[in-house]
Amino acid sequence: MHLIFFLIFAAFCLAGAVNLLVQTHPINSALSLIVVMISLAVLYLLLGAEFLAAAQIIVYAGAVMVLFTFVVMLLNAGSEERTHGSHAAYSIGLPAVVAIFAIIATVLLRAQGLGTVGPANAITTTEELSTVLFTELLLPFEVTSVLILIAILGAVALASKGRGEANAPKERSQR
């Protein structure tokens, strides 16, 4: 069963990723990414990470991607134009990406000692997870809450009206 599920949802992942690249309007790309994330949640389940699968859907697909969608709709920028602004991206970036993928893939394929996963392997319960999270790693956990607070403050400061409005008319007239 794991094999079938893996094949299906891995295909969904790859399709969603390729679609993200292919689409021109950002809203389509965002929706494709949601597909990827949900597929990934299923894959986490296959690997025995039940809490993470739930968190993936709730936090990532449900909050972060919604935020993205909000911003796309707010800005309403439209499809992107076909401009060739950077030659370096094609001439240097593409070989670099190919090289990275090739190296990692080769290392992985030649690795020994990697196991398998199937119906018989253990599922990490939420209880196990929270035990470690709230005892051993309590400090990092609290620090992340501070991090999120800072992010909130930063986002509010950046996006508040006073910052952008004053410059905008000047910029538009210069262009």
Partner 1 sequence: MNGFLAQQVPLSWFLLLSAALFALGIVGFLFKRNLITIFLSIELMLNAVNLSFVTFASQWHAVKGQIFVFFVMMVAAAESAVGLAIIIAIFRVRATLAVDQIDRMKR
Partner 2 sequence: MNVLPLWLIPLFPLAGFLLNGIRGRCLPKWQVTTLALAAPLASFAVVLNAARRFAGMPIVETCPFPWIEVGALRIDFSFVLDQLSLVMLLVVTGVGLLIHIYSVGYMAEEKGYARYFSYLNLFLFFMNVLVLAGNALVMFIGWEGVGLASYLLIGFYFEKNSAANAGKKAFLVNRVGDFGFLVALFLLIANFGTLTFTEIATKIAACAGWQGGVITVIALCLLLGATGKSAQLPLYVWLPDAMEGPTPVSALIHAATMVTAGVYMIARLHVLFAHSPFALGIVAIVGAATAIFAATIGLAQNDIKRVLAYSTISQLGYMFLACGVAAYSAGIFHLMTHAFFKALLFLAAGSVIHGLGGEQDLRKMGGLWKKLPVTFAVTTVGVLAISGIPPFAGFYSKDAILYAAFVQGPGGMALWLVGAITALLTSVYMFRLWYMVFLGKPRSEDVHPRESPWTMLGPLVALALLALGGGWIGIEHFSSFLAPSTGPLSLEAVTPHLERNLSIAAVGIALLGWLIAHILYYAKPSAPATLAGAAPRVYKLIAHKYYVDEIYSAVLVKPLLLFSRCFLGWVVDGAILGGLAWLLAALANLGGMILQRWQSGNLRSYAAWIAAGAAALLLYALVPWNALWPLSLDTLLKGMGH
Tell which one of 13, 38, 42, 57 touches partner 1 (CB under 8 A).
Answer: 13
Tell which one of 8, 95, 142, 152 touches partner 1 (CB under 8 A).
Answer: 152
Residue 49 φ then ψ, to 5°: -105, 85
User: Which long-range contacts does 8-13 make (Cβ < 8 Å, 24+ apart)?
Assistant: 9/39, 9/42, 9/43, 9/46, 10/39, 10/43, 12/36, 12/38, 12/39, 13/39, 13/40, 13/43
Residue with tokens 């891995």: 10
Instruction: Find the radius of gyration of the CA atoms of the chain.
Output: 21
Rounded to a whole number of angstroms, the minimum distance from the CB of residue 102 to partner 2 is: 9
- Number of amino acids touching partner 2 (CB under 8 A): 21
Identify what 112 binds: partner 2, partner 1, none; CB under 5 to 8 Å per kind: partner 2
Residue 125 φ then ψ, to 5°: -80, 160
Q: Compose the 53-92 pattern: x for residues touching partner 2 by CB under 8 A, - for all others.
A: --------------------------------xxxxx-xx
Q: Kindly compute the dihedral angle of the four CA atoms of residues 88, 89, 90, 94, in this order, to the nearest 10 degrees.
A: 120
Binders of partner 1 among 77-116, rule CB under 8 A?
Answer: 77, 80-83, 85-86, 89-90, 93-94, 96-97, 100-101, 104-105, 108-109, 111, 114-116
Q: Which is nearer to partner 2, 127 or 171 (CB)?
A: 171
Tokens of 34: 């949601």
Identify what 8 binds: partner 2, partner 1, none; CB under 5 to 8 Å per kind: none
Is 148 one of the binding residues for partner 1 (CB under 8 A)?
Answer: yes
Q: Which chain residues interact with partner 2 by CB under 8 A?
A: 85-89, 91-93, 95-97, 99-100, 103-104, 106-107, 109-112
